[in-house]
Amino acid sequence: MAQFGKDIADDLVLLDHKLKQLKNEYDQYFLGTRKRVPQMLRAEVNKMIAIYTNISINNTGNRFKFNNLRARYSAFRRLWDDNLRKIEEGRYERHLFKADLHDRERNDIAERRSQVQARDGGPSQGEIFEAYVNARESTGQGAKGLTPEKLSKLLAKQEAQIRKKTGCEQVKFRVVVEQGKAKLKATAVKR
């Protein structure tokens, strides 16, 4: 295509292609993979639609194709504008779902952390193992290959080192989530 407006059939193929591309870019924006609204491409499509709206198209096939493209663009435009308005008002369903999901994850992690830290006598080895596995799975680290025996040996080794270093009688372990990672924290208890 040398110049826009010379060959209507080529221009309609280009308009169809740009409309599909614009729909894909808006879908990416609403899914969150694209950072900005595709304003430049939308302006191009708007311009092409406006030009051919004011031109008389004599070929029935081309006129039919253009009217279909214009109707599709109009429907998409209403949908996109409605979604953009919902985003501005904070009512967009996908954003609300993600925010609710993140809130639930934060609350679950905080609840687990407070349950483990609230115990006075300290949790048992089994409770530590369960809390650690749950925390690793909730943070996406996974607990593949971790067994209660391996964790018990690791904790016994760390407890011996801490007792030797600090001279304490007892060592309490707790599971915490810091910076998105599950960790075991030890506290020396002197009586």
pLDDT digits (tens, 9 = 90+) for 107-153: 777 666 655 554 555 667 777 778 878 887 777 777 777 788 888 88
Q: What is the pLDDT of residue 71?
A: 96
CA neighbours closer than 13 Å in the CB half-sphere of residue 179? 0
Q: Which domain holds residue 29?
A: 8-91
Q: Is residue 101 part of a domain?
A: yes
Q: Is residue 32 part of a domain?
A: yes
- For residue 184, report the phi and psi dihedrals to the nearest 5 degrees: -100, 130
Distance CA 144, CA 123 (A): 22
Residue that finishes a domain, picked among 58, 91, 124: 91
Say how far residue 136 (Cα) sits from the centre of its chain: 19
- Whether residues 155 and 141 fall in one domain: yes
Distance CA 132, CA 176 (A): 8
Q: What is the pLDDT of residue 5?
A: 63
Distance CA 97, CA 93 (A): 6
Element (H, E) at 186: strand 181-189
Residue that finishes a domain, picked among 39, 61, 91: 91
Question: Helices 125-138 and 93-118, interaxial angle, to 10°?
Answer: 160
- Whether residues 24 and 49 fall in one domain: yes
Residue 140 backbone zone (phi > 0: left; psi -120 to 50: alpha; other: beta)? left
- Whether residues 176 and 111 fall in one domain: yes
Q: Is residue 122 part of a domain?
A: yes
Residue that finishes a domain, picked among 35, 63, 91: 91
Is pLDDT above 90 for 17?
yes
- Whether residues 157 and 129 fall in one domain: yes
Q: How many domains does the chain have?
A: 2
- Whether residues 108 and 79 fall in one domain: no
